[in-house]
Structure 1
Amino acid sequence: MKKVRWGILSTAKIGREKVIPGMQASAFCDIAAIASRNIEDAQAVANKLGISKAYGSYEALLDDQDIDAVYIPLPNQLHVPWALKALEANKHVLCEKPIGLTAAEAQQLLKAVGQKLHLKVMEAFMYRFHPQWQYAKEMVMEGKIGDLKTIQSFFSYYNDDPNNIRNQKEAGGGGLMDIGCYCISLSRFIFDKEPARVMGKVEYDKNFGVDQMASGVLDFGFGTSTFTCSTQLTPFQRVNILGTTVGIEIEIPFNAPTDAPTKVWVHSKQGKKEIIFDIANQYTLQGDLFSQAILNDTPVPTPLEDAVNNMKAIEAIFESSDKGRWIELG
């Protein structure tokens, strides 16, 4: 079976612990190289994970003609610059979320992709490929919850480490970019449209200057989505999707375990029904689907326009909080 030969730009924790092992279990991914700014770091990770090539610079990996695609788990401010360099090197790109620091930066990447139509680029919102989310999406699209009216989501953890990249403003840190982007993405995914307007309330850490808690309302015209995310609250995550006849509650919506089943609860007038999903690795599923799009030259599961629109909504939440009013999206 033919596989896509992947290179990893960075030895970031998300790659080492989640994405690379997940993609190594894929039927269509060959993790062939990894790069760091320090060759010792790259070699150590390569040895641990069984990767054949290690490079001491990102440029060296991009120069490797045997590499077909790259996965980019770099800090947020480096996503678009290195994605552009990867395109210049004729590599397909799977880039961690958020796609960039601004919608304008995301548009810059979209424009570059438009000039290299043979290359695939996708934002790595892996949750969408998990069976529990595919189930929820199907239930909504087939009208099995009645009319979709509202979505409620919550995502939080506690991190007050000043050295952590998530607490560094210049790197695009803060809760909304790190985890709130999931709440916005899932709302657009389930409603299957863009919000007409948003309202936001953002609280900033006085020492770090990044948002430590953000709440928002997305108005889709015929329904709403509300969310809160925080980097300084007790760890918790939950999503409720509510229709006129049925509600779907997802227990672990974002960090679905790769070694245990997941479950959702379906609420209706008949009572509460528990749905159990077999063990699944959303990173493996993401790697499979993206690699198949490369091998078959078919559209990627999530088009880059989706990433641009997610950035527009994120920016609008910040703007709404600053101005204290609804912000229209058009």
Structure 2
Amino acid sequence: MEKVKLGVLGVSSHYGLRMSIPVAKSESVKPWALGSRSFARAERAAKKWGFSKAYGSYQEVLDNPEVEAVYIPLPNDMHAEWIRRCADAGKAVLCEKPIALSKKEAIEALEYAEAKGVLAMETFMYRFHPQWIRAKELIDIGEIGEVRTIHTIFGFNLVDQQDIRNQMDRGGGALYDIGCYAISSSRLLLNKEPERVISLISRDETSRVDIVSSAILDFGDVRTLFTVSMRMAVRQKVSVYGSIGSLTMILPFNPFPDVPIELIIRNRIGTRKIFAKPADQYGLMLDAFAKALRERRSAPIPSTDAIANMAVIDAVYRSENSGSWEQVGQ
């Protein structure tokens, strides 16, 4: 398969930390054009990360006729706008989560891309890792019985007030940044959507972004719980409790790409560990996205999934204000 020429909007620390190596090593995409508001910054980063072209604006990346797909790691409040701009330029879109700041905004942006015939996908890279594929297989075959509840914890300590995740007007906050994973993964494992949610959220007194967000998602016969925080020691874990056992993932969202990842199964017989092979989940996501683009197929994670996730996030924020259960999708 011919490599997809990739454009990137912004010189983001996330790209440097998580995406630059998978893109450089990829057999399916090629780092082609990098845009920044500063040409000097784009030029330095392009040289460091192996891009062929550097530009002093985002739009110039879209104007390059050789660019086939664009990765958007911009601040959250810019996602919907640049999805539409990519669609206008006829470029496939791989957009960082959250896809937008509301369900309404997500629908408008993704329907616009669809109308333009442009492939668009939210970057929930964890779904491509073998540990999640294996975990879902184990749950689906009844390894732990009927699922009763899922508990997710995800946090880190971000005290830099200049970081965009600590800026309310840029779509900052723990729920948008990492709570989306807790919601997405519960929906994935249960193969259904929650009916209602109730939440409790603590906000930074200065920035007003949510720094600790907790919620219960009611799926009818199953309830899932999560707490995400930007003011705690680094920690992540997903525990799935069933009628005859449990499954625990100790590095569910940011596993090391070069070591096996363990899943812990506990039941009446005892405890056993299952190991998922090492994998770079970002690289696997890029491969799946590029293949869908080349073969003119639907995105591996459909737009409907991104919209459904945003519907839950909306309900969590509504519950913060109402102090009661909120129906999802209203």
Q: State the shift of 1:113 in Å.
A: 2.5
Q: Distance in 2 between matches of 1:41 and 1:258?
A: 28
Q: Secondary structure at the match of 2:300?
A: coil
Can you list the C-alpha shifts for 1:143-187, whole angstroms capped at 9, x where unaligned?
332112111000011112111111100000011111111101111
Q: State the shift of 1:260 in Å.
A: 2.4
**RMSD between superposed Cα atoms in Å:** 1.1
Q: Distance in 2 between matches of 1:40 and 1:195?
A: 47
Q: State the shift of 1:230 in Å.
A: 0.6
Q: Distance in 1 between matches of 2:245 and 2:24?
A: 38
Q: State the shift of 1:142 in Å.
A: 2.5
Can you list the C-alpha shifts for 1:34-55, whole angstroms capped at 9, x where unaligned?
1111111111111112211111
Q: State the shift of 1:278 in Å.
A: 2.3
Assess if the C-alpha contact under 8 Å between 2:24 and 2:50 holds in 1: no
| Aligned residue runs from structure 1 range 296-315, under 5 A | 296-315=295-314
Can you list the C-alpha shifts for 1:269-311, whole angstroms capped at 9, x where unaligned?
1211112222210000000001000011111111011111111
Counterpart AA for 2:34: I
Assess if the C-alpha contact under 8 Å between 1:24 and 1:284 holds in 2: no
Q: Which residue in 2 is equivalent to 1:247?
A: 246
Check if 1:84 corresponds to 2:84.
yes
Q: Distance in 1 between matches of 2:270 and 2:24?
A: 41
Q: State the shift of 1:4 in Å.
A: 1.1
Q: Which residue in 2 is equivalent to 1:107?
A: 107
Q: Which residue in 1 is equivalent to 2:156?
A: 157
Q: Secondary structure at the match of 2:273?
A: strand
Check if 1:10 corresponds to 2:23.
no
Q: Secondary structure at the match of 2:161?
A: coil
Q: Secondary structure at the match of 1:309?
A: helix
Q: Which residue in 2 is equivalent to 1:177?
A: 176
Can you list the C-alpha shifts for 1:10-38, whole angstroms capped at 9, x where unaligned?
11011122113112322211111111111
Q: Distance in 1 between matches of 2:315 and 2:229?
A: 18
Q: State the shift of 1:248 in Å.
A: 1.0
Q: Which residue in 2 is equivalent to 1:265?
A: 264
Q: Distance in 2 between matches of 1:280 and 1:191?
A: 24
Counterpart AA for 2:301: T
Check if 1:204 corresponds to 2:203.
yes
Assess if the C-alpha contact under 8 Å between 2:83 and 2:110 holds in 1: no
Q: Which residue in 2 is equivalent to 1:287?
A: 286
Q: Distance in 2 between matches of 1:110 and 1:6?
A: 20
Q: Secondary structure at the match of 1:90?
A: coil
Q: Secondary structure at the match of 1:212?
A: strand
Kindly, what percent of the aligned residue pairs are identical? 39
Counterpart AA for 1:329: V
Q: State the shift of 1:259 in Å.
A: 2.9
Q: State the shift of 1:100 in Å.
A: 0.8
Q: Which residue in 2 is equivalent to 1:24?
A: 24
Check if 1:62 corresponds to 2:62.
yes
| TM-score, structure 2 as length reference | 0.97
Counterpart AA for 1:6: L
Unmatched 5+ residue regions in structure 2? none
Q: State the shift of 1:128 in Å.
A: 0.7
Q: State the shift of 1:205 in Å.
A: 0.8
Q: Which moved more, 1:269-278 or 1:124-133?
A: 269-278
Q: Which residue in 2 is equivalent to 1:130?
A: 129
Q: State the shift of 1:84 in Å.
A: 0.6
Counterpart AA for 2:27: A
Q: Distance in 1 between matches of 2:319 and 2:153?
A: 19
Q: State the shift of 1:315 in Å.
A: 1.3
Counterpart AA for 1:153: T
Q: Which residue in 2 is equivalent to 1:329?
A: 328
Counterpart AA for 1:261: P
Q: Which residue in 1 is equivalent to 2:193?
A: 194
Q: Distance in 2 between matches of 1:182 and 1:71?
A: 19
Q: Distance in 2 between matches of 1:36 and 1:222?
A: 48
Q: Which moved more, 1:191-200 or 1:144-153?
A: 144-153
Unmatched 5+ residue regions in structure 1? none
Q: Distance in 2 between matches of 1:159 and 1:20?
A: 22
| TM-score, structure 1 as length reference | 0.97
Q: Distance in 1 between matches of 2:40 and 2:280?
A: 29
Q: State the shift of 1:60 in Å.
A: 0.6
Assess if the C-alpha contact under 8 Å between 1:26 and 1:285 holds in 2: no
Counterpart AA for 2:227: T
Counterpart AA for 1:189: L
Q: Secondary structure at the match of 1:228?
A: strand
- Count residues in correspondence: 329
Q: Distance in 2 between matches of 1:20 and 1:104?
A: 32
Q: Which residue in 1 is equivalent to 2:42?
A: 42
